[in-house]
């Protein structure tokens, strides 16, 4: 590193010698792992490029309509490109989908009916989806409509319990859910091979069962996606990986055409489906972000690996380790107490380009059963492909670090988080 850069970092960002020297040591140790990301990034970049070329994307598709949004050729082109990239029959990609939970909710509500049963084979789903299903009591949950729910716990080694799947599937089972990312759990995220193995077991029991994958945080981590290995429908958020930091809002759902049709009736109304729905001029930013996404995801992955190794060398337990196989962009660090969680998030916030002067505090965030703290000084509110960190304030005191549109920024977020934690230990 240039001495000028070193001195600027230490002086401007108040990084002490211990953290700075440790960061340089970590870069030396893990640099070879960065090279391994290049092949996946390059493959996915060309996959997206090819889809846009095959779809004959033109600047005329960046125009937009008004009112009902009939004949919105830009909207149709976005959904065609998403279908091509994820190798599915159809897609819904809309700014009216407010987040990943909403995309998943549309899937579930569109596909199950009273008397059906949902089976999650990756333990309990993410906190916000629990209220949708009725695991946690919420008004309007599927439980109120007579939809039942069961789940299969992970094995002690963190693998999917394949025998447990066979035991839990019954004549009422309609929808099988898989959550790829760890969420607020201390477990490995599922690799594509893990997902394929689980889907193969489900389909061997009943080929008609619908398998839905929550792909949040997992796009472009591999050369394959869950829809390449048997998932019938898959959903995620545009302000995570596939938005590339440019999508202003929205979510996507991809899958089999008949399933997308049913889901579209839940999104709008029966008989209307995908034919309506204004895109509010977001087509260009959604597609440009999608084009950038493979590169941006690789940068976030580099930041997660750096975070893992640096905090491991500081004596903390981390998951995954820097050289583990990764299937999402999330890095989990087990801290000692609630104060360390808060200080970690304060450090990440202090490294943000937006609202760096703001001090994050725990609060009762809608959809969660405990206070949550979030550090996210992003250009797009809540964007977790941008540098961010969050954690529920409850034991064990795990904090979840993710994102960074560039590795340099992600690296600074890690250094500031480490500096804040160390400084407050001395007080």
For 86-126, what is each residue's pLDDT tens digit? Answer: 999 999 999 999 999 999 999 999 999 999 999 999 999 98
Q: What is the pLDDT of residue 186?
A: 87
Sequence-ordered list of residues with C-beta below 8 angstroms from that of 28, at least 6 positions apart, any chain = none
Contact 162, 197 (CB under 8 A): yes
Q: Average pLDDT over the chain, rounded to whole?
A: 95
- Confidence (pTM): 0.95
DSSP symbol at 425: H
Phi, psi (deg, nearest 5) at residue 39: -65, -45
Q: What is the pLDDT of residue 116?
A: 98
DSSP symbol at 222: S
Q: What is the pLDDT of residue 183?
A: 81
Domains of the chain: 3-46+291-425 (3.90.1150.60), 65-281 (3.40.640.10)
d(CA 388, CA 401): 6
> Residue 46: which H helix or E strand, with range?
helix 17-54
Q: What is the pLDDT of residue 427?
A: 61
Residues of the chain with pLDDT under 70: 1-2, 427
Contact 83, 193 (CB under 8 A): no
Q: What is the pLDDT of residue 245?
A: 97
């Amino acid at each position: 590193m240039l001495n000028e850069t070193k001195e600027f970092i230490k002086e401007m960002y108040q990084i002490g010698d211990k953290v700075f020297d440790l960061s340089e040591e970590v870069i030396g140790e893990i640099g070879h792992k960065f090279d391994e990301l290049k092949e996946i990034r390059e493959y996915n970049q060309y996959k997206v490029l090819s889809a846009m070329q095959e779809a004959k994307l033109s600047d005329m598709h960046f125009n937009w309509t008004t009112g009902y949004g009939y004949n919105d050729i830009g909207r149709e082109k976005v959904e065609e490109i998403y279908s091509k990239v994820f190798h599915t029959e159809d897609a819904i990609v809309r700014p009216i989908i407010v987040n990943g939970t909403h995309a998943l909710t549309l899937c579930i509500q569109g596909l199950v009916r009273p008397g059906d049963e949902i089976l999650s084979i990756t333990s309990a789903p993410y906190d916000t989806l629990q209220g949708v299903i009725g695991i946690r009591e919420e008004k309007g949950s599927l439980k109120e409509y007579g939809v039942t729910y069961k789940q299969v716990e992970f094995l002690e080694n963190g693998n999917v319990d394949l025998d447990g799947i066979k035991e839990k599937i019954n004549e009422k089972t309609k929808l099988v859910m898989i959550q790829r990312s760890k969420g607020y759990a201390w477990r490995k995220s599922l690799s594509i091979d893990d997902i394929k193995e689980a889907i193969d077991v489900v389909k061997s029991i009943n080929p008609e069962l619908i398998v839905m994958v929550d792909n949040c945080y997992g796009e472009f981590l591999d050369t394959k996606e869950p829809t390449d290995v048997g998932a019938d429908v898959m959903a995620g958020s545009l302000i995570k990986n596939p938005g590339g930091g440019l999508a202003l809002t929205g979510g996507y759902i991809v899958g089999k055409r008949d399933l997308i049709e049913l889901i579209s009736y839940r999104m709008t109304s029966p008989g209307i489906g995908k034919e309506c729905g204004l895109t509010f001029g977001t087509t260009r930013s959604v597609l440009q972000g999608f084009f950038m996404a493979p590169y941006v995801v690789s940068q976030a992955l580099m930041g997660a690996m750096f975070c893992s190794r640096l905090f491991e060398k500081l004596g903390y337990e981390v998951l995954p380790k820097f050289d583990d196989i990764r299937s999402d962009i999330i890095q989990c660090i087990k801290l000692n107490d609630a104060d360390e969680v808060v200080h970690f998030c304060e450090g990440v916030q202090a490294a943000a380009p937006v609202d760096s002067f703001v001090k994050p505090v725990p609060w009762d965030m809608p959809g969660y059963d405990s206070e949550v703290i979030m550090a996210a000084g992003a250009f797009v509110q809540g964007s977790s492909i941008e540098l961010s960190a969050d954690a529920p304030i409850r034991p064990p005191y795990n904090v979840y670090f993710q994102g960074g549109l560039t590795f340099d920024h992600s690296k600074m977020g890690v250094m500031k988080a480490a500096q804040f934690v160390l400084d407050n230990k001395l007080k």
